[in-house]
Chain A
Amino acid sequence: MTPRPAIDPPRWLHLALGGLALLVGLLLLGLPLAAVFTEALRRGWEVASAAIAEPDTLAAIRLTLLVAAIAVPLNTIGGLAAAWCIAKHEFPGRRLLTALIELPFSVSPVIAGLVFVLIFGMQGWLGPSLREHGIQVVFALPGLVLATLFVTFPFVARTVLPLMQEQGRAEEEAAATLGATGWQSFRRVTLPNVKWALLSGVLLCNARAMGEFGAVSVVSGHIRGQTNTMPLHVEILYNEYQFAAAFAVAALLALLGLVTLAAKAVLQRLTGRATGPAP
């Protein structure tokens, strides 16, 4: 806003605005983070670590890791395929496809869970007949995975696509002239060119998959030790007024977020480009 030296802004204004920015950053961003760790340790390390070592919490951690381990690779494959189609090929409807891939970002997480209940729930389209065959989707692992797939759907495609488009098609076309199959040119040419952006997209996808609350809350059924992921466990502990335990689990999730942020910053340095805003 304030121009640089040429029309030198008054120094006090510069300082005041800078101070204001720092204050906003501190109040809005620093304070919540500090609150998580302070509340987690309010009653000491022992209480916090005991809360995490509790069997229900460990089950929640395991489930969260499992859901992410299934959802993230699936969305990585889908996202790469979509980005590769859009960036490296001509076909009608490319812009529509790009818009459709971004669609889940503008849909409420609760709606992301709701749609799978509408299909697989007790009164869903497929729910009753699947139940007859002993398959349960909602209130079980498959539902958690589907809801997570929906909310993390755009991350990989969205981080990789701009880079693929920027790099153009010349290298892949050269590979094709030399007789490379589609898979060979993807694996030897396209993939190495976007590896850092891909890693960044996978990390963001993973952070959201592990931290997702609204969508999984709708399909989970909140069965302790069985369908409770870490964020849902935070809610249960919090509603039972076990604040120290709730904040201890929340602190673990916050650490995951901080590690993701740090990794993203390192990857940005490595590639010298921003990987774009990713909610």
Chain B
Amino acid sequence: MSAALALAAPRRVRAIPGFGLAFGITLAWLSVIVLVPLAALAIRPWELGPLGVWDSLTEPRVLASLRLSFGAALLAAAIDLPLGLLLAWAIVRLRFPGRALLDAAIDLPFALPTAVAGIALTAILAPNGWLGAPLAAAFGWKVAFTPWGVVAALVFVGLPFVTRTVEPVLRDLGAEAEEAAATLGATRPQVLARVVLPALLPALLSGFGLAFARAVGEYGSVIFIAGNMPMVSEIAPLLIVVRLEQFDYAGAAAIGLAMLLLSFPVLLALNLWQRALRRGRA
């Protein structure tokens, strides 16, 4: 804290006074609530020693849960891409009764508490649910209480991220570029492939990243529908809870740290790809 305040002391006359106090509050707030707690996450696994951390993370049950969390998150974010794009396109380009309602409803997964979403999705997709029963009767599919239930819940929570990142870009894109391309003789598929999708790609990537980041750590909406069978449908955050209940703090922290470190390269790669695209278009 003292270092923070020393940093905040203005060296030169500032145009707007009051920076020191506000910066002090900001740093204190950030440190107490976010930085110090995350430092605990970074430090405590090593109580087990490097080998202990490795053993704790390579337990088959842990590996299976990490595989499920990351695999389901990637799959769900990929499913969200076309669905989110379709919804964004509908609210930007279409005029139909109920468009404003659809627009507001897109934020529902943000606004609905995750536990509520969890039990609602379970009720719908359970073997006797509104969708679960017909799916089981028609195709023999079982969604709830299997890994597919996890994917379904993650598709729900991630959807608005894609729609809301693509929507402003689609709005700004307007129809001019497409009309120009058409005037120059481009066919519809050409316009789509050469004009529209390239312009939307950075936003799609960023929406994918947001949906993925949210989905990897998601807990409340998943645990009701997953069935939570070890090795099959148990997500990594649940295993953290299990280890905490066994007072294995270091082991719980190891999973938490591994989750953060594993999602970092995915998000970094998406970010670099986005930058490359921006540079290419500039």
Q: Which residues of A contact B (CB under 8 A)?
A: 1-7, 9, 14, 17-18, 20-22, 24-25, 27-33, 35-36, 39, 74, 77-78, 81-82, 84-85, 88-89, 91, 97, 100-101, 103-111, 114-119, 121-125, 146, 149-150, 153, 169, 172-173, 175-176, 180-183, 185-186, 204, 207, 210-214, 217-218, 231-232, 234-235, 238, 246-247, 250, 253-254, 256-258, 260-262, 264-265, 274, 276-279
Query: Which A residues are CB-close (under 8 A) to B220?
Result: 109, 213-214, 217, 231
New A-B contacts (13) at CB < 8 Å, excluding given A28-B155, A247-B119: A21-B90, A33-B108, A39-B123, A85-B26, A109-B217, A115-B41, A122-B247, A153-B34, A182-B21, A182-B22, A186-B18, A213-B220, A214-B218
Residue of B nearest to A31 (CB): B124
Residue of B nearest to A215 (CB): B219
The binding surface of chain A is classed by DSSP as helix
Known: A7-B191, A31-B131, A211-B116. Contact between A108 and B98, CB under 8 A? Answer: no
Residue of B nearest to A171 (CB): B16
Residue of B nearest to A3 (CB): B178
**Interface residue B149 (Cβ < 8 Å from any Cβ of A):** no
Interface residues on B, range: 35 or more
CB <8 Å contact, A3 and B217: no
Of B18, B89, B98, B253, the most chain A CB neighbours within 10 A belong to: B18
CB <8 Å contact, A108 and B217: yes
CB distance from B238 to the nearest CB of A (A): 8
Query: Which B residues are CB-close (under 8 A) to A4?
Result: 93, 175, 178-179
Query: Which A residues are CB-close (under 8 A) to B116?
Result: 36, 211, 231, 234, 250, 253-254, 257
Q: Please provide the chain B residues from 180 to 196 with a CB less than 8 Å away from any CB of chain A in the complex.
A: 182-183, 188, 191-192, 196
Stretch at the interface among B56-64, B137-145, B157-165: B157-165
CB distance from A197 to the nearest CB of B (A): 16
CB distance from B201 to the nearest CB of A (A): 13
Query: Which B residues are CB-close (under 8 A) to A27?
Result: 131
CB distance from A45 to the nearest CB of B (A): 19
Nearest 10 A/B pairs, CB to CB: A182-B18, A108-B217, A211-B113, A21-B90, A78-B29, A213-B220, A277-B164, A214-B219, A115-B37, A257-B111
CB <8 Å contact, B188 and A111: no
Kindly state the separation between the CA atoms of A3 and B92 in the bound complex, as whole angstroms: 11
CB <8 Å contact, B241 and A18: no
Q: Which residues of B contact A (CB under 8 A)?
A: 14-19, 21-23, 25-26, 29-30, 33-38, 40-41, 44, 83, 85-87, 89-90, 93-94, 96, 98, 102, 104-117, 119-121, 123-124, 129-131, 155-156, 159-161, 164-165, 168, 175, 178-179, 182-183, 188, 191-192, 196, 210, 213-214, 216-220, 224, 237-238, 240-241, 244, 247, 249, 252-253, 256, 259-260, 263, 267
CB distance from B147 to the nearest CB of A (A): 18
CB <8 Å contact, B112 and A257: yes
Query: Which B residues are CB-close (under 8 A) to A256?
Result: 113
Query: Which B residues are CB-close (under 8 A) to A232?
Result: 115
CB <8 Å contact, A279 and B253: no
Query: Which B residues are CB-close (under 8 A) to A33?
Result: 108, 112, 120
